Amino acid sequence: MQPINKEAVQKRLESFFQKTVYIHLETTNGAYASHFNEQVINVGAFIRNAAVNVKQGKITGKGPFRVGLELDHGWVYAEGLTDWEFDGQGRLLMAGHNRDGQLAVALQISERPFA
């Protein structure tokens, strides 16, 4: 992965517009949480291979970035994205890493289901 290039990511996002695609979205602070306050809870979310039709989408921010996708019946967004790649399988892979390089958020888009 490489640091996000906002214009390049936007161009790749647009290639998924008006198509049914598969989304992988996860967030975590779980194993990476570096707090010792028992009143703070670890949180996370995970969804994989949700088939959605992307009407439009946009990357915003100055880094870390936010990507929002408008769907037929709602929205999906991920915030805190720092890195990306468009792999040889036609998948847009985006991730947000903390200052120690650990994964905090991932948003991936593909025209085929993820393995």
What domains does the chain contain, in order, with CATH numbers?
2-110 (2.70.180.10)
- Residue 28, CA distances (Å) to 42, 45, 52, 81 in order: 8, 7, 23, 13
pLDDT confidence bin for 36, thresholds 50/70/90: low
pTM exceeds 0.75: yes
Are 76 and 1 contacting, i.e. CB atoms less than 8 angstroms apart?
Answer: no
13 contact partners, CB below 8 Å, separation of at least 6: 57, 58, 59, 67, 69, 92, 109
Q: What is the mean pLDDT of residues 71-98?
A: 95
Q: What is the mean pLDDT of residues 27-39?
A: 67
So what's the pLDDT on residue 30?
Answer: 61
pLDDT confidence bin for 101, thresholds 50/70/90: confident
